[in-house]
Amino acid sequence: MITEEKNANSRILLKRLKQALSEQGEAQARLDEIVKLIASSMESEVCSIYLRRNDDVMELYATEGLLTTAVHYSQLEIGQGLVGRIAASAEPIKTSNVKKAKGFRYLPETGEEKYKSFLGVPIQRLGKMLGVLVIQNLLEREYSDDEVYGLEIVAMVIAEMAELGVFTGSDDKHKLSQEKKATFSTVGLIGKEGVSLGTTVLLEPQIKITDPVADNPIREKAKLSVALTRLKKELSDSTNKKYLKQKGEFLEILETHKLLIEDKSWLNRMEESIDNGLSATVAVEKEQTATKTRIATVKNYYFRERLYEFYEISNTLLKILTKQKSKLNLNRIDCPILIARNISPLELISMREHLNGIILEEGSVGSHTTIVCRALNIPLIIQAKSITENTNHKDKVILDGDQGIVHIRPEEEIIRAYTSKLAMRTKAQKSFLALRKLSAVSIDGIKISLMINAGLMADLPSLVESGAEGVGLYRTELQFLVSNTVPKRAQQAQIYSKVLDSARGLPVFFRTLDIGSDKVLPSITPEIEPNPALGWRAIRLSLEKSGVLKMQAQALIRGASGRKLNIVIPLVTKPSEFDQAKSIILAEIAKEKRRKRPIPKSIKVGTMLEVPSLAFAPNSFFASVDFIMVGGNDLKQFFFAADRENEKVRRRYDVLSTSFLSFLTLIHEKCEKFNIPLSFCGEDAGKPIEALVLSAIGFKTLSMQPDCIGPIKALLRSVSLSEVRSLINKCMKENTETVRPKITNYLASINK
């Protein structure tokens, strides 16, 4: 069938459906009418609609062709039979021989045994699975892609109507917008630590579409085009804002979004849906729903992140099309905490001043949004299951980003407990501020140098505010990740120079690119690896792509412009990797010298110790490094063979176990012997008991998130590290598994 004719037929069917749906009468009668219409239009003997009940069962709501006695009787659980599989995967299933199809389950009460062919598509809206639409034929029939597409278009219209309650009575189990009243608690992953108590604000567009069908494609396309122009303008306005001009990394994210809007295939697909009879808004929704399905199946980290961005852009576009304010008015809300499936960095930045926290149903640890939240110090919980379904606008909420727990409409008792916890924190923060200019010296006179971990320009004000003694770890890859590209040498040099400017003479340890594993840059790491954490990452990659390392070394030298420069090499596993990296850096310095450009006043090249094998390297290696930084996050994951991103195992093994502490002690002794400065810069450095133990076993420098500096300094100033040391020694002698209980008791005793 030629396209014009196909589109016209689709529009006729949608128009008929619309008529049937608008007729007065019982919901069931409407459903019966529309299955009849669809069956005849699709030339099928059977058309059935299964709707999802609140208890996650797919119930047959209407059928043309199957036995009507099965209506409201036949049921399938999600995942069960072909209908259940469609609901579980959100993907269509088609077959010309249903008995051979994987997962087929025959429902005898429907009389479906005589139908050979089957085509089913999900009925879904804004990422929510509402049901399944099925056609069946007596004879073997190969359903074409056009037919699948046509049925999907019909399913979109049914989804809109189901959402409006057209098919169900007032007491129905499907009603979606009931106010939720009971307390709801859930656990998610920690995106950014912090505790907040406030009021929920729902971000998702509250879209109600009364008319999903439109028979004037030209007018709908014009609407879409106007909305896209608005969207582009909003992005341009944001990128022109004075605030953003200073924040290079945010600007680059917005530029990426502008490019996504120009994506031709995205536009074409939406226009095709309009040609088939959908309104512009529902066409955008259809694309958004398809993107959501793809997100669930795509394994590659980079592509998944890009799909998330499409999803978020569609949200903003939907708001424009339905004339909803794209920016929420948060001024009148007491301590707003945003609840959403996901949020784009653009939306986040536009609301940043008002937000006290964010809870997302999706999101990932390495996404742009998480990076920006960390930089802006906004507590964030990601992957909080079912949060959007269980929250009303303006509910009371507690976000416990330290433990990854969310309480919606909490009991008074929980509110009281958190209120007093927050009050204590505020009081403590004031006292930390007073310590800003003092050193972290224990009562027995041991001085520990506290530094911050940073990686974005937005982190830098924290250096002065926190009273830290320098940037113990500057993760250069964050800059690359937020822009998705490799920044040019001049751009990089400018950034490094600014970092050194804001450090005002305090030391900064720049780590060369630590790309790979969860930090994927498409231009550098396009491969999907079976085990990325153990794969082609960090220095392993940099030595093969040595052009990038050379360029970064040049940028660091130029950025330093005559100042002191410290460079640290990530994930070194054997000495020759360090030697090669160091000689590349030294060769670049020699080149700059020959070109008569300024070279750093001093250059120190050190290594991260993140792979256990490096601790056992030959002595010559220890003689060649200028400093060693233990990257506890990675070292721990390799020592315990427990993936740091895997919630099921990542907390299972204690960093304060005597086995890990013996290993750290061995590293410390080697560094003492060779007179190498040693620091610890994993997340554990910012945790109180861990920081005490690390200091007691000999780490003289700890590098941590800026907001941990105050509490750790206060703690160190109140303890005797030699006492802590003797407790650790005692545990070692007594063969205790972990020192944690002893140190916890010691702290409790001094706080009495």
The C-alpha torsion from 351 through 354 and 358 to 364, rounded to 10°, is 40
| 338: Cβ contacts below 8 Å, ≥ 6 apart | 200, 201, 203, 351, 355, 357, 358, 359
# binding residues, Mg ion (CB under 5 A): 3
Provide the sign of the torsion angle of the four alpha carbons 322, 327, 331, 333, taken in this order.
positive
**Side chain identity at 514, as an amino acid letter?**
D
70 binds, among ligand PEP, Mg ion, none (CB under 5 to 8 A by kind): none
The binder of 475, among Mg ion, ligand PEP, none, by C-beta within 5 to 8 A per type, is: ligand PEP
User: Interhelix angle for 280-297 vs 264-275, to 10°?
Assistant: 130
> Tokens 């400017």 sit at which residue?
501
For residue 379, the partner it binds in Mg ion, ligand PEP, none, with Cβ less than 5 to 8 A by kind, is none
Please report, as ranges, the residues that interact with ligand PEP according to CB under 6 A. Answer: 473, 475, 514, 610, 631-634, 681-682
Structure token digits, residue 515: 């790309």
Choose between 207 and 538: whose C-beta lies nearer to Mg ion: 538
Contact of 43 with 74, CB cutoff 8 Å: no
Minimum CB separation of residue 613 from ligand PEP in Å reads: 15
The residue (of 217 and 682) whose beta carbon lies closer to Mg ion is 682
490, HSE (Cβ side, Cα atoms, 13 Å): 0
Given the complex with ligand PEP, which of 157 and 605 has the nearer CB atom? 605
Cβ atoms of 700 and 449 closer than 8 Å: yes
**Considering beta carbons, is residue 21 or 702 the nearer one to ligand PEP?**
702
Q: Which is nearer to Mg ion, 610 or 684 (CB)?
A: 610
To which residue do tokens 């990128």 refer? 239
Shortest Å distance, C-beta 514 to ligand PEP? 6
The nearest distance, CB 427 to ligand PEP, in angstroms, is 31
The residue assigned the tokens 């226009």 is: 271
From the CB of 703, what's the least distance to ligand PEP, in Å? 8
Q: Please, which residue, 81 or 682, has the CB nearer to ligand PEP?
A: 682
Kindly state the smallest distance separating residue 532's Cβ from ligand PEP, in Å.
Answer: 12
Radius of gyration (C-alpha) of the chain in whole angstroms: 30
- Give the nearest distance from C-beta 634 to ligand PEP in angstroms: 3
Cα–Cα–Cα angle for 115, 119, 122, nearest 5°? 135
Cβ 632 vs Cβ 655: under 8 Å: yes
- Minimum CB separation of residue 109 from ligand PEP in Å reads 57
* Least distance between ligand PEP and beta carbon 661 (Å): 16
Rounded to 5 degrees, φ, ψ at 75 are -140, 150
Q: Among residue numbers 604 through 633, which ones bind Mg ion (CB under 5 A)?
A: 610, 631
Nearer to Mg ion, 30 or 519 (CB): 519
Distance, CA of 123 to CA of 125 (rounded, Å): 7
| 682 is a site residue for Mg ion (CB under 5 A) | no
Contact 517, 533 (CB under 8 A): yes
CB nearer to Mg ion: pick between 285 and 634 = 634
Angstrom distance (rounded) from CA 40 to CA 29: 17
Sheet holding 336-340, edge to edge: 184-187, 405-408, 396-400, 195-202, 336-340, 357-360, 380-382, 189-192
Secondary structure of 365-398 in the HEC alphabet?
Answer: CCCHHHHHHHHHCCCEEECCCCCCCCCCCCCEEE
| Separation between Cα atoms, residue 90 and residue 97, nearest integer Å | 21
E strand or H helix at 558: helix 546-560
CB of 473 to ligand PEP, least distance (A): 6
H helices then E strands: how many in the chain?
A: 26, 23
Q: Which amino acid is at 174?
A: H
Q: Does 252 bind Mg ion (CB under 5 A)?
A: no
**Closest residue to Mg ion, based on beta-carbon distance:** 634
Write down the least CB distance from residue 182 to Mg ion, Å: 42
Nearer to ligand PEP, 343 or 655 (CB): 655
H or E segment to which residue 729 belongs = helix 721-733
**Of the two residues 31 and 567, which places its CB atom closer to ligand PEP in the complex?**
567
Structure-token pair, residue 423: 């009050």
What's the min distance (Å) between Cβ of 85 and ligand PEP?
39
Least Å from the CB of residue 635 to Mg ion:
8
Using the minimum distance from each CB to ligand PEP, give the nearer residue, 65 or 682.
682
Instruction: Pick the closer one to Mg ion by CB: 85 or 636.
Output: 636
User: 82 vs 681, which CB is nearer to ligand PEP?
Assistant: 681
Could you list the beta-strand ranges (E) of 56-149: 57-64, 75-77, 93-95, 117-125, 128-137
Nearer to ligand PEP, 93 or 473 (CB): 473
State the minimum distance, in angstroms, from the CB of residue 705 to ligand PEP: 11
Q: Which does 470 bind (CB under 5 to 8 A by kind): Mg ion, ligand PEP, none?
A: none
Q: Determine the straight-line distance between the first and last CA of the chain, rounded to whole angstroms.
A: 83
Asked if residues 564 and 601 have their Cβ atoms less than 8 Å apart, the reply is yes
Within 10 A of 215 (CB to CB), how many other CB atoms are there?
A: 14
- Rounded CA-CA distance 229/75 in Å is 46
Contacting Mg ion within 628-647 (CB under 5 A)? 631, 634
**In whole angstroms, what is the distance from residue 653 CA to residue 618 CA?**
29
Among all residues, whose Cβ is closest to ligand PEP? 631
Residue 371 Cβ vs Mg ion, minimum distance, rounded to whole Å: 16
Name the residues that contact Mg ion, by CB under 5 A. Answer: 610, 631, 634
